[in-house]
Every structure is written in structure tokens, then in C-alpha cells.
Structure 1
């Protein structure tokens, strides 16, 4: 199914090495560009793309290749690596061989590894691939390089990799489908998982994860709904009683003892000349993991080392448009965050969701939450924060079977929201536990314990609190991530 081949090189690809890779199909193939020059394409005689190759991405973050591709993917050198992704046209066997030969040629010249290691074309890559007479399937004008099938209702992408990341290919396809009122539909075999940013973005847009299944054909990897291809898109199937059945594979789960701590919060800053973004995220990361983020980027893999200055410069360049980024942690403590910077009439808003993974026997850093809340209220303009626990994978990827929804553990109200609700109302609630006052007494925030995060009763407690706070408008929009801006 997959047509993706990745070269992880130890040295930076230059013009000559890229040219040597492009000659994997011989001198007769045409070379074109798309995406404002960001994607190079090897095309047939009719200028239809056989292989699309994205510009090299430098990986300065240890463990990123392993997180997304599995053990053994990291280059052997200690320095940075370069990630060069090639995507072959679907339905053309020679195209996949051509992509593999391109990647193999790069690693022969620059050192490194090819993923997958057994990709067609990697053996004997020094000889050009015979593509004489080969033609690609015509590509609709509105299609992105990552899209395998485009209809009036959906853009379908085929993937077969351990973890489906929110790559620049995928985020661009997602943006284009949202703008064209289509549904992005990612089709995978049952052994694939979604990265956390991919799952969050699919859940916040009209998109679907389509999983192949031997018993029912296809089902939705996030809901379990049985799907079938109808009216040019994958849609829920209907039984005779009108209801959509749930795939048996989706409900076949086994407890592992792994858990995730999810902290979603919003901050607001005045748009001053000396404003530096990312401080709230860095403070949360430090409090919950003992160190700052390892890396960040506008897509996955997150190849840049963490830098608040560079994050701020990027957001300033894109303003007034929103900026979506992802941050990652070190391999010993899995942590992933999405951060969306939004320019609003009230100032500059940061919408952040940080998730930290824990294995069996590891205790989530719950004791750090009140202190973190106090720091965010005092220094970073916190508006609201919701802390949740869930039984889910330590590596933070999403498998195609049922996972228990997160359960609330604590809620935090910032000073502006306390003033809006009224200080007496915010400080005197119907909950069993008294709220903890945060920050200075003249502009306090409040931390509300909601239970142990182990039972569904915490949802009832949260609903009671929000009703008490007169509808709690501060929590609107904080349960999901926005679409990326590339």
C-alpha cells in the first residue's frame, strides 16, 4: 500500500547528490517542481509525476526517526541527520522502485539508511530503473502530491508506516481539503498507528482514518464505525435497523497499565515588541518532565532544537494568520505538544495541548500541577487549563482500536476569567474540595481539584463546576487543536 520511501542521510544532501538520485530513472525522465518549488517531481513523458521528492529536512532532535519509523531507523552517526521523503505514484510498480533507487543512491553517497530497508529499488540502485514506456495515472489539477485519489467529496491518502505523522505533505493536503470542503481520508493497514498531532487534527476537522479489516472490510480507526465506499467517499455503513455497526477488531482491547497525562491550556499576552512566545509551554514541560522540550517544527518529524526565539519569529512572520507547531520530548520521557498561536482583538493567544506518556508502574506528575498552575497564572497570562488522565499508550501514538476517553483531574481559572465570573462565585463552589487560590491576591486565579482522574464521576464534578461558573465560556475551544498553517 505505501509508496513512501525515506532516505535518512548522515551528511547534508547537496545539488550533486540530489541530481545523482534523480538520475535513478535515467536521463529521459522529466523533472518538474510544485508547491512553490518545495517539491521536485520525476515525471513521465506526459509530465505526470512518478515520484515526488520533498526538500531535505534536518533532524537535530535525537529519537525523532525512531519515534515515527521504529527501532533501527536512526542513522549511526552522532550528529544531525537529513530526512528526505520520496512518494511514488500509486498504481505504478516502477514508480515505487524508482523512489527506492533515489533514496538508496542518496545514502550511498552521503551515508545513512533507507526506510523501509527492503523498499523495491534499493538493491542495485547504481543501475537506472527501467521506466521506458511507463506512464503515471493522470492527476487532477486540485490534487496535492500526497493525495492518491481525489473526488468531489474526499481526498484519499494511502499510508503504510508504523506511525502516520503530520508531515508537511499531510498537513498541506489537510489544509487543501478543508478549503475545498472535502474530507481527508487516510487509509492504512491494521498495524498502523497515528501520531498524536495527526489524531488531534483529524478529530478537529472533517477527516477520517480508514482502517482495512479482514472481517468487515473497512472501519474508522478512531470510532470503530464500519465503513464502505459510497458516493465517492468512505462513509459509515448502515445495518438493516439503520444503525452503524462497530468493527469487532476495534473493541478487542487488552489493558496494558500505560497512561497519559493531558494538560490543555490557553494563555493571552499583550502584543508588545519584546514578547517571546513558548514560555508557558516550556514551563509546563519543565514541571511535568524535568526538562524543556527537545525539539519543535511546523510538521513531523520535528527537526529543530527547541527555541522560543525562533518560534516567536515564525509567528510574527505569519501574523495575522494562525501558526500551528508541534513540540517533542526526549526518548526517555515521551511527551508531545501542539501549540497554536492566534492573533485576536484581545492580544496574542497560545492554545496548547501537552501530553506526557507513562508506562506500567510509572506515576504521572500530578503533584506538580498546582505549582504549574500558579506559575502560569503569575507569569504567563493563563486563561484556563484542564488536566486529564487516560489509559492509553506510553508512546502517545493512537492504535486503531478503542481507547478510554480522558477523565478530568483538575481545572484552572485564570484572573481574567475569575473577574468575569465574579471572585465570590469563583472562590465558593459546590464541590467537595475547596479551590486553591493562585497568584497575587489582587488578581487571583483558582485551581479546582475534580477527583482522582480514575472514574467518570469527575466529569459530573466538572459539569457542576462549569454550571456554577455561569456556563464557563473560558473552556470553549480548548479540547482540540486547529488546522496547521504551512
Structure 2
């Protein structure tokens, strides 16, 4: 198993500090660089990579170390990830020693454990065949398999790079974890995308899919669902071991389209949603977890503009007092600049999601931020926004909003007469309104059927679509 060790230091690990850490391998070791210098690798005398050290990340957003590692670390601090190859027993001690040396030189701590050793590790006997990539534990023609064991599996820079590499090589990414590991909201969204998979190793039942519960077996170089003689799959017993909880999540997913002008600023619609639902702006943003940059729509816009016409994926986080996490996909289309946003907020026992703020928020997004659609839902899930490998109740819709452009395309008369009990509310200018459809308070699963009937009715009004569209 690939072993992750993280140094959390108050000072920046410069080149000399990183080399001092890597010399934990003794004089027989050699150092090479990869990923255009963003990754350093410590290699055995035979050239085999043993440990990789990623470029240090300056974290300026409060609460990120606690959210991902359970550590309360004051900001700003430097986050340096070191990964050891699981094929060589000495590599894990080497990673711990490298991080321990960084913490000793620069002031700070090491995860996991209160401290790490700083000993020199003898690697002269470390010989094992390998594909040259210590971060990927198994590589087949169809699949990249990574073994991970950390409190929260997050969408880190490393995971993003592995995901990009697997996608470019037409492989699936499968991450294997023990059952105590949870997914961050961003990592969950990534592993929900086919053909990726979260594989949980259960001591009693073997392997199962952490998001669907399907029992898995290793066949032909990949983890695949095990089926019976009739072709049906089996759900792992461990997947059904849920415990009652009063925790809930409010999920607000919306799309906006802005004109591709030079003065267009992205992220302002998300900030409006954040303020409406939490009372404050987001705390930080970044391209991966931990989220490291203080919130700034203009800097966010600059990054997206530099990456255009390629899409940009971003993660936004809130302040520690109110769990909140969002991910944004920015895309340049013929319509303009599209922002697909999913904002998730956590609430514990006795805390009420601010459902009364949904309709005013919808109007703000319609009038000021080019809203095309918005769906607000409530689901029974953890306040800390992580996902355990157990059965999750589906989200129950609270409201759906259709922007003015799509209302015009469907026809205002048709859109105003859906086959649901609650009538829509007009938002924005009377000459070209958007429509907001209240669907309930998130407690009645019958709202799922209402949403399906509403969607079918609206699709039937699209020019060229049949009644069954």
C-alpha cells in the first residue's frame, strides 16, 4: 500500500530543506525530479523510486487541516505530502524520516502521529520490480489502482494528477481503502463519475463499492461487480450498517451563463449564494484539497481565463463554524461563460437548513447572475460533509428554478401549468420572468415524484420534443 505522510510546517520548505529531508535515505540514495520539477523522487541505488515529495503548498484558509486530517493547525502553514512505495518495506520509514526532518528544521508537526523519526534508513537491500510510479499501486491495461488510508480521502493535487493520467490513458481509477476512510464531497463527486470506483476492503465480506454497495471481485485486471447465475449483483451487508442520525445537508446546484466580456467576474453568483445561506462570504478557493487560497473572485476569474478554452474545475470552502463546500466547473460555450456550481452545507441535530432563503436566493441569481437552472435539495447525511461507505438516503428536492431564457423557449403558458400541486412563482422582470417551483420542505420523499413529473412536463414544451420526451 502507498503510504502517505504529511509535514505541516510554519516555514516554507526550500530546496535545501527538501534535500535534507530526502537525505534520510543515506549516501546510497539518489534524487530525481518529475512533473516539470513539481515532484522530487528519492530512488534506491538501482534507480527504483521509493519516495515522492510533492511541491509544498501554502495553506491560508482556516480549518483545512482539521477538516482533512483532524489537526488544528493555525494558518498560514505549509503542507508537504510525501508518498512511499508500498512495494518496499523500508520506504514507509523513509517517508516518515523525511517529514520528521522537515518538521525539525522548519518547526511544525507530522501526520500521522505526534512526531516522526529522523533516522537514516538503509535502502541498499531494497530491490523489487516496479513500473516506476510509487503513487500507483497496481497498473493494468484498463485500471489504475491506488491503495489509500487516511481519515478523509480528499481531491488532492496528487489525486487530480492521477485522475488526469488515467483519463488520458483510457483507464479507470479505482481507490481501495479500509472501511473507516470517508470521502470529501469533492472526492465523492469525482469517484461517482464512470468508470471510476471507490473500493472498500471489508474484513468479513471482501471488497465492495463504497457508493453503491455492490460486492466486487478482482477480475481481468480490475474490480468488477460480482453477479449470480441470474446476472444480478449482490449488495454487501456492511453497506447497510447505517446508524440513525439527525444530521442533514442542504445541496444547492445551479448553472449560470455570463457574457464573455473582458470585465466579466466569475464566482460572484456563488458568493451571493454563500452569503444568503451562511451570512458570510466563502473562506477560500483552489484547484484541489486542501483549499489554500483566500477567497477572491478576481483571482479565480484570472485562472479560468488563462486556462480557456479548456474547462476549469475549482473547489471553494467556508469557515470552520459552518461546514460548507462547493465545486465549480467553468466552461466557455457558444452561449457565453457557463458556471456549474454545487454548494453543499452541513447541519447537525437541532440545526435547521435555511430553506426560507432559497426563493430570495433564486431571485438574486436570476436578476444579477444569469441563472439558467437551480435545484435545492435536503438529504440525511453527515454534518461534516464527508461520505462513509454505507447506504445514503437520496436527496429530497425542495425547489426547482428555471431561468428566463428556458422559460421563453418552453413557453410561459406551458411552463406555468405543471402537473404538480404548488404553482410556480415568477421571478425577475414581468416581461420575461424566470419561474420558481416550490416542492416541499425536504421531509417528504414524494417530492421526488413531483420533480420527475415537472421535468417531464417542461421537456414536453421544448420545441421539437414529443410528449414523451
Bin of the TM-score, shorter chain as denominator length: over 0.9
Match of 2:84 in 1: 88
Match of 2:95 in 1: 99
| Counterpart contact for 2:355–2:441, Cα < 8 Å | no
Alignment deviations for residues 85-139 of structure 1 (CA, whole Å, 9 cap, x no partner): 00001121111111100100001011111000168xx23x0x3211122135421
Task: Give the TM-score normalised by structure 1.
Answer: 0.93
**127, 135, 143: which one aligns with 2:127:** 135
- Is 1:349 the counterpart of 2:338 in the alignment? yes
Match of 1:320 in 2: 309
Match of 1:24 in 2: 24
The correspondence of residues 147-186 of structure 1 with structure 2, limited to 5 A, is 147-186=136-175
Give the distance between the partners of 1:471 and 1:12, measured in 2 at CA: 58
| Counterpart contact for 1:29–1:43, Cα < 8 Å | yes
Give the distance between the partners of 1:181 and 1:345, measured in 2 at CA: 28
SS at match of 1:61: coil
Alignment deviations for residues 381-422 of structure 1 (CA, whole Å, 9 cap, x no partner): 000001111000000001010010111110001111111111
**152, 163, 179: which one aligns with 1:190:** 179
Give the distance between the partners of 1:377 and 1:458, measured in 2 at CA: 23
**231, 246, 262: which one aligns with 1:273:** 262
Give the distance between the partners of 2:37 and 2:176, measured in 1 at CA: 28
| Counterpart contact for 2:256–2:372, Cα < 8 Å | yes
| Counterpart contact for 1:257–1:359, Cα < 8 Å | yes
- Is 1:414 the counterpart of 2:412 in the alignment? no
Match of 1:297 in 2: 286
**429, 450, 454: which one aligns with 1:461:** 450
**Stretches (4+) displaced over 4 A:** none
Match of 2:465 in 1: none
Deviation at 1:146, TM superposition (A): 2.5
What stretches of structure 1 of length at least 5 have no aligned partner? 474-486
SS at match of 2:36: coil
The correspondence of residues 240-279 of structure 1 with structure 2, limited to 5 A, is 240-279=229-268
| Counterpart contact for 2:153–2:183, Cα < 8 Å | yes
Give the distance between the partners of 1:174 and 1:471, measured in 2 at CA: 38
Deviation at 1:51, TM superposition (A): 0.4
Give the distance between the partners of 1:117 and 1:276, measured in 2 at CA: 43
SS at match of 2:374: strand
Match of 1:42 in 2: 42
| Counterpart contact for 1:33–1:39, Cα < 8 Å | yes
Give the distance between the partners of 1:179 and 1:447, measured in 2 at CA: 40
| Counterpart contact for 1:378–1:439, Cα < 8 Å | yes
SS at match of 2:261: coil
Deviation at 1:34, TM superposition (A): 1.2
| Counterpart contact for 2:59–2:291, Cα < 8 Å | yes
Give the distance between the partners of 1:175 and 1:19, measured in 2 at CA: 28
Task: Give the TM-score normalised by structure 2.
Answer: 0.96
**97, 100, 109: which one aligns with 2:105:** 109
| Counterpart contact for 2:62–2:75, Cα < 8 Å | no
- Is 1:212 the counterpart of 2:185 in the alignment? no
**Distance of aligned partners of 1:187 and 1:457 in 2 relative to their CA distance in 1, 3 Å threshold:** same
| Counterpart contact for 2:25–2:121, Cα < 8 Å | yes
Give the distance between the partners of 2:200 and 2:328, measured in 1 at CA: 28
| Counterpart contact for 1:466–1:472, Cα < 8 Å | no
**Distance of aligned partners of 1:471 and 1:85 in 2 relative to their CA distance in 1, 3 Å threshold:** farther
What stretches of structure 2 of length at least 5 have no aligned partner? 463-469
Give the distance between the partners of 2:232 and 2:421, measured in 1 at CA: 41
Deviation at 1:199, TM superposition (A): 0.5
* Aligned CA-pair RMSD: 1.4
- Is 1:369 the counterpart of 2:358 in the alignment? yes
How many residues were matched structurally? 462
- Is 1:431 the counterpart of 2:420 in the alignment? yes
Range with greater deviation from structure 2 (170-179 or 293-302) = 170-179
